[in-house]
Amino acid sequence: MPTRRAAILGGNRIPFARSNGRYAQAGNQDMLTATLDGLAARFNLQGQRLGEVAAGAVLKHSRDFSLTRESVLGSSLSAETPAYDVQQACGTGLETTILLANKIALGQIESGIAGGVDTTSDAPIAVNEGLRTVLLEANRARTVGARLKALAGLRPGQLVPEIPQNSEPRTGLSMGEHQAVTTVEWEIGRQEQDELAVASHRNLAAAYDRGFFTDLLTPFLGLTRDQNLRPDSSLEKLAGLKPVFGTKLPDPTMTAGNSTPLTDGASAVLLSSDEWAVEHGLPVLAHLVDAETAAVDYVHGDRKDAGLLMAPIYALPRLLERNKLTLQDFDFYEIHEAFAATVLTTLKAWADPRFCAERLGRDEPLGEIDRSKLNVAGSSLAAGHPFAATGGRLVATLAKLLHEKGSGRGLISICAAGGQGVVAILEA
């Protein structure tokens, strides 16, 4: 079956807010609906039946089992547009993009919206597991006596609710603690982390100042810029912060300044076939060329070579090989800044002969990249990181950068919880 490249026509996101900040009262559905509405307004999509909408959230209420479809129904998009939820932790937004791009490539759909949303403010709180068991037992009981017997099993301790944890179920360690181990193993210094964080804030601020986000963002609840952005961030200010992760390890380096904060927000990307774009008079910003996912055994694997957030390092060489490209063949690199140290570990591993030989089976390392091409419009350290929304932010940002340049190639790399990673290539 002949395939075609899916076109990226643009995106929309709401400014990202700090946890318990401006969007504290807004749920996932509110944010995703507003984001879809902003996209519909930008591209005149009201009442139009699109191929599909795929989006997801990492922290999700059980009542939001059909979050994306409900958001579509609440938006100005046609109610005849099918929608479904996808979840691959922080890879969600990029994974939905790949999913729809593949359907477009196969000719199954002509257009679609990929996206993601997350709130850490309006997090789902579940009933205690003990209480849940008792209630289910009582529900199953057929007689009053049996029901009373089941309810007699209630204990005061069961009233304590379960609050979602930002930690890996299999290790009990938070993402930051996992990265802290990797940071030590790869000898990533404090100063280089802080430098990356400062660059992220400066680049994001400069992008705002030159109007880069004018057609990528729609204000929400009075917020017009990312709440986490500190345009005046400096090495001196960051140097004064105390480490918050890996504090039991030697020389902890990861602070609140060089780690992403908990964030609320949503993003969406409009994809289509080239024909659909022409029919609708919409310019194509870029095409999605190819993508690859990988996973590492961070539970049992090597402490240095199989860190929780290292999967993109493994995904990229496979993607490059399939597309006959080298690491240096890119004009822009969008590497998600879960932590400054994650980006630095990734770059160091790609340039490391031992790692590349032993782990990636390569004669030569992938090499270095031109750092002036890295996250040129800022990234997660400055913008914040609403888990499932980051992929959509990166795709739209990179597509616009390529479109502005006129032609070129860009790389997206996102690490995700569960030891997973997603990488993709865009071209204009």
Partner 1 sequence: MPDRYLELVNSGVGATVAGRLGLPRPAVLRRYSPGDPLLAGELLCGELKGGLDGLVELLAAAGVQTAATDEDGRKWAGLLFDATAARGPEDLAELRAFCNGALRRLRPSGRVVLIGRAPDGADPAVDAARQALDGIVRSLAKELRAGATANLIQLVGEASAADAEGALRFFLSARSAYVDGQVLAVSPGAGSPPADWTKPLAGKVALVTGAARGIGAAIASVLARDGARVVVADLPAAGEGLARVANKIGGSALQLDIAADGAPDTITSYFEQRHGGLDIVVHNAGITRDKLLANMKPEHWDSVIAVNLAAQLRINAALLATGCLHDGGRVVCLASTSGIAGNRGQTNYAASKAGVIGMVRSYALRFADRQAAINAVAPGFIDTDMTRAMPLLTREVARRLSSLQQAGQPVDVAEAVAFLSQPGAGSVNGQVLRVCGQNLVGA
Determine whether 61 is an active site residue.
no
Which of positions 74-103 make contact with partner 1 (CB under 8 A)? 76
Nearest alpha-carbon partner for 265 in 166, 380, 415, 97: 380
SS3 115: strand
Per-residue interface string for the shown chain with partner 1, residues 182-211, x marking contact by CB under 8 A: -----------------------------x
For residue 282, state whether it binds partner 1 (rule: CB under 8 A). Answer: yes
Spot the catalytic one: 201, 287, 336, 385. 385
Residue whose CB is less far from partner 1, 33 or 88: 33
d(CA 41, CA 157): 50
How many residues in the shown chain lie near partner 1 by CB under 8 A?
Answer: 25
Residues in the chain, total: 428
Residue whose CB is less far from partner 1, 27 or 418: 27
Return the bridge partners of 308, or none: none
Per-residue interface string for the shown chain with partner 1, residues 210-229, x marking contact by CB under 8 A: -x-xxx-xxxxxx-x-----
Nearest alpha-carbon partner for 97 in 312, 330, 393: 393
For residue 350, state whether it binds partner 1 (rule: CB under 8 A). Answer: no
d(CA 7, CA 411): 16
Q: Which amino acid is at 108?
A: Q
Return the bridge partners of 117, or none: 266
Under 8 Å between Cβ of 394 and 332? no
Minimum distance from residue 214 beta carbon to partner 1 (Å): 5
Minimum distance from residue 149 beta carbon to partner 1 (Å): 55
For residue 16, state whether it binds partner 1 (rule: CB under 8 A). Answer: no
What are the structure tokens assigned to 389, written together? Answer: 């929304």
Spot the catalytic one: 287, 336, 356, 415. 415
The dihedral sign for the CA sequence 92, 97, 98, 103: positive
Q: Kindly give the residue spans of alpha helices, DSSP state H, lying in 325-428.
A: 340-350, 353-358, 380-383, 390-405
Q: Label the pairing between strands 263-272 and 111-118.
A: antiparallel
Minimum distance from residue 16 beta carbon to partner 1 (Å): 15
Q: What is the DSSP letter of 214?
A: G
Residue whose CB is less far from partner 1, 37 or 177: 37
Residue whose CB is less far from partner 1, 250 or 281: 281
Window of 30-38, 144-152, 176-184, 240-248 that interacts with partner 1 by CB under 8 A: 30-38
SS3 330: coil
Under 8 Å between Cβ of 364 and 283? no
d(CA 24, CA 17): 9
Window of 32-40, 80-88, 323-331, 410-418 that interacts with partner 1 by CB under 8 A: 32-40
Minimum distance from residue 247 beta carbon to partner 1 (Å): 41
SS3 146: helix
Among the listed residues 21, 27, 38, 386, the single contact to partner 1 using CB under 8 A: 38
Window of 16-24, 31-39, 83-91, 313-321 that interacts with partner 1 by CB under 8 A: 31-39
User: Residues in the site for partner 1, rule: CB under 8 A?
Assistant: 34, 37-38, 40-44, 46-47, 76, 211, 213-215, 217-222, 224, 281-283
Catalytic residues: 90, 385, 415
